Amino acid sequence: MEIKGLVAVITGGASGIGESIAREMAAEGAKVVIGDLDQVAVNRVVTEITEAGGQAAGVLANVTDENDMAKLMQAAVAAFGAINVVVANAGVIRDGVMINTDKETGKVRKVMPVEDFRFVLDVNLVGAFLTFREGARRMVDNRWPGVLIAVSSINKTGQVGQINYSSTKVAVALWPKILAGEFMMKGIHNIRVVSISPGYVATPILAGMDQNALAAITRDVHIQRLVQPSEIAAAVKFAVENDALDATDIEVTGGLCYAKSRAK
């Protein structure tokens, strides 16, 4: 698909990876609609894109709320007349081990609160589901061609201390195969489904972490640095443009390895 003229809806589009995707798509001529919980950040990104000559709109939206996701998609249709690309990017972390033991007694002294487990599932999994569902229903009803893109993570392979986060990311990485199969069953051939699995990306949160811990992370990356948000955006652009990319997951990790022995 040629990106110019497409309408792209991106959740979590006011910062980090989502912002980079929004800027890349707009620079290529797409009409961008971002949904986020930070109104100030939404306004900033929309303003900066439009001042650079792009077309953009923003909506204050919570991905876990059905009405908000419907409102976001309707805003895209109202502003630009279609939906062609839906990027389910919004995500959160609440890291921690399932059970924590006392060093002296070996007995359990703390457990992961169920609220922390559910919160991550609600945003990363339920939120992505609602984003896809509300975008896809309008694309199908109006016969708008396009692609659904989920942002997964290399930690879909499993990560200690992220039982909640990794569970959501392995789930959305499966969706391209499931949904492409469902679309095939229903005779829907003009909507593709792809997921992108980033490695460690130089977002403000990661870049601001303890520098020794950051150095330990990059030592296990083949290219010896963090992945840039623009490189994830470039992968999204590639997924949109290449019509043969469907029912699959693309890893963009810089060659993240286990203890310098094999690719993760």
Active site positions, annotated = 165
Taking the C-alpha atoms of residue 90 and residue 5, their distance in angstroms, rounded to an integer, is: 24
For 73, phi then psi, to 5°, come to: -70, -40
For residue 138, CA distances in Å to 86, 114, 148, 150, 231 come to 11, 34, 12, 17, 29
Q: Contact 50/25 with Cβ under 8 angstroms?
A: no
Tell me the longest C-alpha to C-alpha distance in the chain: 64
In this structure, the number of other CB atoms found within 10 A of the CB of residue 176 comes to 24
For 78, phi then psi, to 5°, come to: -65, -40
Residue 199 token pair: 């490695």
For residue 56, CA distances in Å to 3, 34, 165, 204, 240 come to 14, 8, 30, 23, 18
Question: Which of 88, 191, 195 has the alpha carbon at shortest distance from 142?
Answer: 191
